[in-house]
Amino acid sequence: MAVIDHTKESASASKRFIRNLVWVVIICALILGGQGLRYYNNKAQLDQIQAETDKLYRSVLGDDIGNSPFGRLQFEYGKLAATNKIGLDPVGVLAALSRPAVESVRLEGLSIDGKRGRARGFFGPNVGQFDDYINAITDDEQYYFSLEKQEEVFGGLTFSLIVEQK
């Protein structure tokens, strides 16, 4: 009977197994390394896109963009679209006229016809501050105010302003 040397055959099979295992580990490591590199590049690109998007949101909405800036943009757009359809907001016009007002200003009438309006009022007795008031309201962010006419009357000035949406 012939005796087969199993130790030599076993050692050879073990070496083959280890060599194959090393190649499988190297190939898996290369695949995982490639996927990791791909993930890193995609993450860097996504971070850059997110930073640019946030920069655009901040340029429109200010520093506090909130949790849902896209929803807020849609809301602001809806307000602007409604304002363009409706025309001037009387409360907004009154607020714009009141912000820089001093005690000398008295608004006597406001008429709004769509996208244009006319405000009439009285300024007195400190007529020297009238130009400051007019300059202050012409710097308003929402409305254009232009002086239509002014007349000196006993104790002050009567004035008429034209207002339009910016």
User: How do residues 144-159 score in pLDDT, each as one tens digit?
Assistant: 999 999 998 888 889 9
List, for residues 75-103, the tens digit of each pLDDT value: 877 777 676 667 787 888 888 888 888 88
Distance in angstroms (rounded) separating the CA atoms of residues 41 and 47: 10
* DSSP line for 23-83: HHHHHHHHHHHHHHHHHHHHHHHHHHHHHHHHHHHHHHH-S---S-HHHHHHHHHHHHHHH
List, for residues 110-121, the tens digit of each pLDDT value: 888 878 899 999
> To the nearest 5 percent, what fractions of the chain are helix, strand and coil?
55, 25, 20
pLDDT band at residue 1, thresholds of 50, 70 and 90? very low
User: Among candidates 79, 6, 24, which has minimal Cα distance to 71?
Assistant: 79
pLDDT of residue 109: 87
pTM score, two decimals? 0.49
Task: In the chain, count H helices and then E strands.
Answer: 4, 4
Q: Which domains does the chain have, with CATH numbers?
A: 8-83 (no CATH), 87-165 (3.30.1360.100)
List, for residues 24-72, the tens digit of each pLDDT value: 999 999 999 999 999 999 999 999 999 998 888 888 778 887 788 888 8
SS3 for 14? helix
Task: Please provide the average confidence, as pLDDT, over all residues in the chain.
Answer: 86
